[in-house]
Chains A and B, each alone.
Chain A
């Protein structure tokens, strides 16, 4: 399993299609805006958002409850659980 992190909408546009069904995806920094309009399309359904970054940008109440909320501890755990981590920025 690969953990993909996206830190911008641009990064998702470039490499979002590389995500496989079993992978996990974590949206951080400006990447949290990818979740704003609810039109996200990814092969994986294991989607996480870094809660502190979503709160900072005023998005917490605007992101679908189906997206799993991660704090910094969860971020570390996701990295440890993954075979490798791909940071897209």
Chain B
């Protein structure tokens, strides 16, 4: 079976791009073995405590909790970029493996396909 790596670099609510990345990941998980990598502002998608009631947007951060049920067990982010934002893994809605840059680079070669959102 092919392995897919979904790379997410967009913040969650300013555009539909982040939501589309998550939708694609959920869809892909039905057909292939999928991992997710959050880089840069993409890490902000995972931030705990998002409350969209006043802006009438969808709080899709709640969906990350279902990734395990979809068979997506491997979720990664950049440790350097998490630190740069002054965040800890405990600030995120799910357990994410915070990786050093060289370990992130290894993900690109260990997956058959890399999809960037």
Please tell me the number of chain B residues within 8 Å of chain A, measured between CB atoms.
23
Secondary structure at the B interface, as helix, strand, loop or mixed, is: loop
Do A30 and B11 touch (CB < 8 A)? yes
Stretch binding the partner chain, chosen from A19-27, A40-48, A55-63, A73-81? A55-63
Do A37 and B49 touch (CB < 8 A)? no
- CB closest chain-A residue, reference B15: A30
Residues on the B chain within 8 Å of A58, using CB: 47-51, 61
Secondary structure at the A interface, as helix, strand, loop or mixed, is: helix
Please tell me the number of chain A residues within 8 Å of chain B, measured between CB atoms.
20
Cβ-closest 7 pairs across A and B = A52-B54, A58-B50, A30-B14, A58-B49, A58-B47, A37-B86, A55-B51
